[in-house]
Amino acid sequence: MSDRISEKLQILADAAKYDVSCSSSGSKRKNDNKGLGDAYGSGICHTYTEDGRCVSLLKILLTNFCIYDCAYCVTRKSNDIKRVAFTVQEVVDLTINFYRRNYIEGLFLSSGIFKNADYTMERLVLVAKKLRTEHKFNGYIHLKSIPGASDELMHEAGLYADRLSVNIEIPTEQGLKLLAPDKDRKDMIKPMHYLKGAIEQSESERQTLRHAPLFAPAGQSTQMIIGATGESDKDIMYTAHQFYKGFSLKRVYYSGYVPVSSDSRLPGMQSRVPLVRENRLYQTDWLMRFYGFHIREILNDEHPQLETDIDPKLSWALRNMQTFPVDINKDDLQLILRVPGIGVQSARKIVAARKFGKLDWEQLKKIGVAINRARYFITCAGGQFHRDRPHEQIRQFILNESKSKFHRGVQQGSLF
């Protein structure tokens, strides 16, 4: 690799780390002994497939040039940083060479905006098209869709990429106007509408035509920056609910704001990344998608913020003690899923196992139930634990026994 390409890679991989649509940042393993491979600064990160496989991706920007001046973004045009750009062929060559060396299994490609949305999107699409058609590349490709790009380019992107995503960036329209006045929320919504329709049409066609072309088979996702403006957890999760429902998104990612700018509109440069809040938002997201909770049950006008010392499922349970105790041996799956300390897999195992006999505490423990949390909310063949305790006392008992790093006061200062 030439020194120029290596420099571009280091700069554009570092700029891409703020996008959390992939689950982790790159490794810092450095090749100091002329050995095989070098992950240092190369933007190799990991993401997970639906069946739990971990996939390594080359995660880079096409360029850190940008016509916009979003206060929360490290590549904003007013930021005094070194600007570089890959050519389409350079990204293609990097991807193929890294793949052949078994560094990666796919590509995550985003970009600043060169001079307009279509000009930039056209180059992103061209990278994916060359990989698929000229190199017969069948690895995973995730392209960031550029808000404002034409439907024709979005369609072409969907034919070559596995996943497309459009970042809505700030959870509320007011927050976006404050920090990125040049951007319009409608430009972010428009490609989502198109992708939703195109994905549904593709799925329908493939039910009747076996060889109909795939279109973004891994669906679409989006990302929000958390903590850059004064939005409440209710604002954030209601927006997420709206996007899940309206655009059939696979995922909404919540990215705690990393201070990158001294701007009176933003938290100070010394402020911490809100990792605990980010974690609670992800837990709420899972409760909506996998546990049958409606967002209004967890966050509403009376409870607009998530509690930071306990998870949202426990918080809901303590506010709704009239729902408990749940009889593990009789009640239905949806009610068992609402018990703190019982996950989706454990709940399903309980329903399957109780067909062969009543379950007791020891059997629940073997199934994987967190007894130290669940015992205050259930009854089983072994009876009920601590009946009629006030919810404040139950909360304190659970907190005292918790091993969570958040309860020990441990805070991670930096994401990277």
User: Does the pLDDT value for residue 43 go beyond 70?
Assistant: no
Rounded Cα gap, residues 368 and 388, in angstroms: 25
* Phi-psi domain of 292 (left: phi exceeds 0; alpha: psi -120 through 50; beta: other): left
CB–CB of 224/169 below 8 Å?
yes
Q: Is the peptide bond before 191 cis (omega within 30 degrees of 0)?
A: no
- Predicted local confidence at residue 103, as pLDDT: 85
List the one residue out of 74, 83, 66, 84 whose CA is nearest residue 183: 66
Highest-pLDDT range among 23-27, 39-43, 281-285: 281-285
Q: At what angle do helices 185-208 and 233-247 cross, to 10 degrees?
A: 40
pTM for this model (two decimals): 0.84
Q: What is the DSSP track for 67-136?
A: S---TT-TT-TTS-----B--HHHHHHHHHHHHHTTS-SEEEEE---SSSHHHHHHHHHHHHHHHHHTS-
Q: Are 131 and 96 in contact (CB under 8 A)?
A: yes
Single-letter amino acid, residue 294: H
- Nearest Cα to Cα of residue 123 among 107, 106, 110: 110
Assign 32 a pLDDT band (cuts: 50, 70, 90).
Answer: low
pLDDT band at 410 (very low <50, low <70, confident <90, very high): very low
Percentage of the chain beyond pLDDT 90 is 59
Beta bridge partners of 143: 109, 164
Instruction: Output the pLDDT for position 42.
Output: 53
Helices (H) and strands (E) in the chain, counts: 15, 10
User: What are the DSSP calls for 141-198, one per residue?
Assistant: EEEEPPTT--HHHHHHHHHH-SEEE---BSSSHHHHHHH-TT--HHHHHHHHHHHHHH
pLDDT tens, position by position, 396-409: 988 888 766 555 55
Cα–Cα dist 127/19, whole Å = 19
Q: pLDDT, tens digit, for every residue of 90-140?
A: 999 999 999 998 888 889 999 999 889 999 999 999 999 999 999 999 888
- The pLDDT value given to residue 92: 95
Chain-centroid distance, C-alpha 407: 24
What tokens does 385 get? 């634990």
CB burial of residue 131 (10 Å; 0-12, 13-18, 19+):
buried
Q: How many residues are given for the chain?
A: 416
Q: Smallest Cα–Cα separation from 7: which of 94, 77, 73, 69?
A: 94
The arrangement of strands across the sheet holding 326-327 comes to 326-327, 378-380, 383-384
Beta bridge partners of 184: none
